[in-house]
Amino acid sequence: MPLKYHPLHNDFAAEIQDIDITTVDDATFSEIERAANRYSLLVLRNQPMDDDQQMALTRRFGEPEFGHLPYGRDGSIEYICQP
């Protein structure tokens, strides 16, 4: 099934519609990844994700980079909290 999305701007951002991001197959994920590369920002409303599903989705895009930007009072920020 082809991805249903529409651009929110000619150069930046698109909304993907009628999808549960936690259940997409590899072919659909490849389409999502191409759309992310084209539009830089994707809007996927009402996604039923818990923390583990969020991490699984993040890893489909590649291994997360932890604390790679200096920020804050001590000059560091952690993007993903580890228990």
Range of the domain at 42: 4-48
Contact between 32 and 58 under an 8 Å Cβ cutoff? The reply is no
Question: Biggest alpha carbon distance in the chain?
Answer: 48
Cα 79 from Cα 30, distance rounded (Å) = 24
The letter for the amino acid at 58 is T
Residue 76 within any structural domain of the chain: no
pLDDT at 7: 92
pLDDT at 8: 93
Residue 18 within any structural domain of the chain: yes
Residue 53 within any structural domain of the chain: no
- The angle that helices 51-61 and 26-39 make with each other, rounded to 10 degrees, is 70
- Provide the 8-state DSSP code for 24: -
Residue 23 within any structural domain of the chain: yes
Residue 44 within any structural domain of the chain: yes
Residue 77 within any structural domain of the chain: no
Residue 35 within any structural domain of the chain: yes
Residue 81 within any structural domain of the chain: no
**Residue-level pLDDT, tens digit, the chain, 83 residues:** 678 888 998 888 999 999 999 999 999 999 999 999 999 999 999 998 888 898 899 899 988 776 556 666 666 666 665 54
- pLDDT one-digit tens code per residue, 17-40: 999 999 999 999 999 999 999 999
Number of domains in the chain: 1
pLDDT at 83: 47
